[in-house]
Structure 1
Amino acid sequence: MPSPQDNPNDQDIYQEHVLDHYEDPYNRGPLATATHAHDGKNPLCGDKIHIDLRLDADGRVAEAWFEGDGCVISQASASMLLEAIEGKTIEEVENFSAEKMLELFGPRLTPNRQKCCLLSWKVVQGALKRPVGTEADPSVTENDDELDTKTSFGGPSLEEEQ
């Protein structure tokens, strides 16, 4: 007769998947050939993410790399997201919603932990608008704030967390 350990529930499978991405992340490190890059942080828990993208002539994400420090959720979700967006068009990445990011991550998260998961998603959205070697466009920072209001999942706002 199989033991309960032989049939892990979905939550256990997701947790193993999360830990795999945390312990052996996809494309962690700098990308010398990046065409676009952006940084972001979550002041609530100190998570930091930097994402480098290389977009090809066809408007696709040819490579996506990240560096960062923070909790298991923020770092694992960055790995998962970059693996998922490589080869996608800019439009497909722009249309990848916060809800899809939470689905990609797997386990259900509290509102504050959702912010950890969504940090890399927000940084990718910003990176698409920040070519390397150009002045930062002030509207990109405004768009980052706009992403916060469009992706409210409850809990305190970033302003309230500081």
Structure 2
Amino acid sequence: MNKKKLFFRLVLLMLILFSVKKVFFSYPDIITSSPEEAITDLDQLGPRTERLAHKFLEKCANEGLPVRIIETYRTKERQEYLYSLGRDIPGDVVTWTKNSKHTNRRAFDIVKDIPGQYYSDENFFRRCAEIGESIGLEAGYYWKVQDSGHFENNGLVK
């Protein structure tokens, strides 16, 4: 085979591999226009965290727990905005860190999906935490500074 044909085939193979990588290993477009908007799409999480989130939601549904995901991935801009709340701009302090697992696609937040009861049901959050921990998530419910609706993947695989 001459060098020209070999070169052409290598270039073609590289283009095919690049296309496959882009299709199978990239995240869908992020649907948000400002740091004030939360991203709720599970497909914005890392692959393992997304699988765990689906498993978590399935187990909660099987127990009749009305769970709603209110945030998944956070852009760096959103994390900076949330960190500035209660510090540099008016509002309540929302987060203690600028380096959240949300920005690494490894965390999601939930509420109880019943108006007026989003955060008030201790038993709901305790049971969700038990479910989350049973499938390999870390539940903020058990932290010293409790974050009842927070779940993160601390496994080695994203």
Considering the TM-score relative to the shorter chain, is it more than 0.5? no
> Larger relative contact order (C-alpha < 8 A, sep ≥ 6)?
1
TM-score of the two chains, using structure 2 as the length reference = 0.29
Larger Rg: 2
Q: 1 or 2, which has the higher strand percentage?
A: 1
